[in-house]
């Protein structure tokens, strides 16, 4: 009976620290995102709406990660963790960002033609 209580205690702790659900689209920036984050997470900095390994959008509450320039955040449903990948070809992300600030790389690369300066 004692081991059952320990397992129940662990499950409750995990359930309180991580929220996850799948959605069709992420809330926009601004009031919609603030409202959604406050209804599911303890703070705006914990609320993430990220693509998982199967390219489904997942809402999760986790501590943010600092992303190096040129990367965007992803969610591993297998490891239940946030990680980052390099931006896809044709896109880039200037400067560092926090994982709750972006879902994708935000900027399109220009096509240089070697003309001009």
Domain boundaries, the chain: 2-108
HEC states along the chain?
CHHHHHHHHHHHHHHHHCCEEEECCCCCCCHHHHHHHHHHCCCCCCEEEEEECCCCEEEEECCCCEECCCEEEEEECCCCEEEEEECCCCEECCCCEECCCCCCCCEECCCCCCCCC
| pTM for the model | 0.72
> Which pLDDT tens digits describe the chain residue by residue (117 residues)?
444 433 333 333 333 346 788 888 888 778 898 999 999 999 899 999 999 988 999 999 999 999 999 999 999 988 889 999 999 999 999 888 999 998 889 899 887 765 544
Q: What are phi and psi of 102, to 5 degrees?
A: -135, 155
């Amino acid at each position: 009976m004692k081991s059952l209580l320990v397992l129940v205690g662990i499950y409750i702790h995990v359930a309180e620290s991580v929220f996850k659900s799948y959605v069709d689209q992420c809330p926009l920036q601004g009031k919609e995102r603030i409202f959604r984050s406050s209804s599911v997470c303890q703070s705006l900095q914990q609320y993430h709406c990220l693509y998982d390994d199967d390219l489904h959008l997942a809402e999760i509450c986790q501590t943010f990660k600092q992303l190096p320039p040129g990367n965007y955040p992803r969610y591993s449903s297998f490891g239940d963790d946030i990680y980052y990948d390099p931006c896809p070809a044709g896109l880039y992300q200037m400067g560092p960002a926090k994982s709750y600030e972006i879902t994708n790389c935000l900027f399109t690369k220009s096509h240089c033609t070697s003309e001009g300066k």
